[in-house]
């Protein structure tokens, strides 16, 4: 085979590569959506990943002002979980099993728990006294597993479930059978019957004892040292009796609900989630693809694109901005046409959810160029090698 000129070689090479170029849009790297299905109004589109592998069908929804309004209503419904079971007014502390009571009977120091404890400690000397003091029970009357205490002359008293005033009146009533007008002072010396557990992004996670100060959600978090900078105040979960209640503190304040009205009960578990659990991923043709953390549970599409540098002006297709959202086994793809009127307003009103993926597709020219860069060099080198005449050896 002979060629008369370089022009003939060029024409032959182009003819050889044309079948490959015809399929460039199908094999170009990146994520692709069936734009024909979208333009025809079909609700289902095929998403194909890099290399042309077809993924599962996804529902394609164009982002419109109506959709933004619907998404806002859905978000408000999700955020307005019924937390009436957590709301209430503070009530006096009620004595429970394990609490230690301090009792003083005026003018009768022999009946005081401090005198009884002191006599037990003084009974030993030297090393024995040290061991006695170390192993001595807490000064006071411990409410046993049946909720009762035993007091001299008064006998066995059921105090569990009573307030301090009620328990004092009951003790004075029983002592009045042996003492004339007994004056009694009773208080809880050690609160050990009721506890809540605070976990997650707080400074000192652990158990918090419920005492005479009402244990509200704000009080529990403050006792744990407050929320860390890595904590998300919009992602607080209160578990009570196996039921999880999602608490969004900034939104509660915005709705006029005082978080101090959320009263915790014995056995409640409070968990402050990390901001890393609410990330949004921005990829594709943006200036700087990255994973973004939400701002107290809120991040709009416009903010996500802005923090990623915006659409790449050299390769990004502003009409193909997608938000890929997975709800269980279903996948929904939202498309924003950045060239449409009011696109910026719609992007600002469209709020993202945790684990959303924002993807900006490449322009057809960028896809064509990338496919050519992968195919054409090898094709040209092969074509030139096939047609180059071998030099006659001399």
Please report, for the chain, the start and end positions of each structural domain, with discontinuous segments joined by +: 6-62+285-378, 79-90+194-276, 100-190
Contact by Cβ (8 Å): 393, 333: no
Tokens of 321: 């901005």
pLDDT at 328: 75
CATH of 79-90+194-276, one of 3.10.560.10, 3.40.50.800, 3.20.20.70, 3.30.460.10: 3.10.560.10
Same fold, 6-62+285-378 and 79-90+194-276: yes
Q: For 364-373, which contacts have Cβ atoms below 8 Å and span 24 or more sequence positions?
A: 364/25, 364/317, 366/285, 366/314, 366/315, 366/317, 367/24, 367/25, 367/28, 367/30, 368/21, 368/24, 368/25, 368/28, 370/28, 370/29, 371/21, 371/24, 371/25, 371/27, 371/28, 372/21, 372/24
Give the residue from 201, 361, 231, 208 showing the smallest Cα distance to 296: 231
- CATH 3.30.1950.10, applies to 100-190: yes
* Residue 327, SS3 per DSSP: strand
pLDDT at 72: 86
Tokens of 155: 């006998």
Residues in the chain, pLDDT under 70: 1-57, 78-81, 113-138, 376-394
Q: Tell me if the pTM is above 0.85.
A: no
Note the CATH architecture for domain 6-62+285-378.
Roll (3.10)
DSSP alpha helices (H): ranges in 41-197? 65-79, 113-122, 126-135, 164-175
Percent of the chain topping pLDDT 70: 73
**Other Cβ atoms closer than 10 A to 112:** 18
Q: What is the DSSP letter of 286?
A: B
DSSP alpha helices (H): ranges in the chain? 6-22, 24-27, 35-39, 65-79, 113-122, 126-135, 164-175, 217-223, 249-254, 301-307, 343-349, 364-387
pLDDT at 31: 61
pLDDT at 49: 45
Contact by Cβ (8 Å): 147, 160: yes
């Amino acid at each position: 085979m002979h060629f008369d000129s370089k022009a003939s070689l060029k024409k032959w090479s182009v003819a050889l590569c044309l079948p490959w170029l015809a399929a460039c849009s199908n094999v170009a790297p990146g994520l692709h959506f069936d734009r024909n299905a979208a333009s025809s109004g079909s609700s289902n589109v095929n998403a194909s990943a890099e290399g042309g592998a077809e993924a599962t069908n996804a529902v394609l929804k164009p982002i419109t002002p109506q959709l933004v309004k619907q998404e806002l209503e859905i978000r408000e419904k999700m955020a307005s979980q019924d937390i009436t079971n957590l709301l209430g007014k503070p009530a006096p502390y009620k004595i429970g099993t394990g609490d230690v009571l301090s009792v003083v009977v005026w003018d009768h120091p022999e009946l005081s728990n401090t005198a009884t404890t002191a006599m037990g400690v003084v009974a030993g000397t030297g090393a024995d006294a040290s061991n006695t003091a170390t192993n001595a029970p807490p000064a006071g009357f411990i409410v046993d597993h049946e909720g009762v205490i035993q007091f001299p002359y008064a006998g066995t008293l059921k105090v569990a479930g009573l307030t301090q005033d009620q328990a004092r009146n009951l003790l004075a009533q029983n002592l009045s059978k042996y003492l004339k007008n007994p004056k009694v002072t009773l208080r809880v010396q050690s609160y050990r019957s009721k506890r809540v557990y605070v976990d997650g992004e707080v400074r000192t996670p652990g158990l918090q004892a419920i005492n005479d100060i009402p244990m509200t959600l704000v009080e529990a978090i403050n006792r744990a040292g407050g929320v860390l900078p890595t904590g998300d105040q919009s992602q607080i979960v209160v578990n009570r009796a196996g039921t999880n209640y999602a608490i969004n503190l900034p939104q509660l304040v915005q709705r006029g609900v005082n978080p101090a009205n959320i009263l915790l009960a014995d056995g409640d578990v409070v968990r402050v989630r990390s901001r890393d659990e609410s990330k949004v991923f921005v990829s594709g043709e943006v200036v700087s693809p990255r994973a973004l953390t939400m701002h107290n549970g809120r991040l709009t599409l416009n903010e996500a694109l802005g923090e990623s540098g915006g659409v790449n002006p050299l390769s990004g297709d502003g009409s193909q901005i997608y938000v890929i959202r997975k709800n269980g086994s279903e996948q929904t793809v939202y498309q924003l046409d950045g060239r449409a009127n009011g696109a910026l307003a719609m992007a600002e009103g469209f709020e993202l959810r945790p684990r959303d993926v924002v993807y900006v597709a490449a322009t057809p020219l960028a896809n064509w160029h990338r496919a050519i860069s992968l195919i054409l060099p090898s094709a040209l080198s092969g074509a030139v090698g096939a047609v180059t005449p071998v030099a006659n050896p001399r």
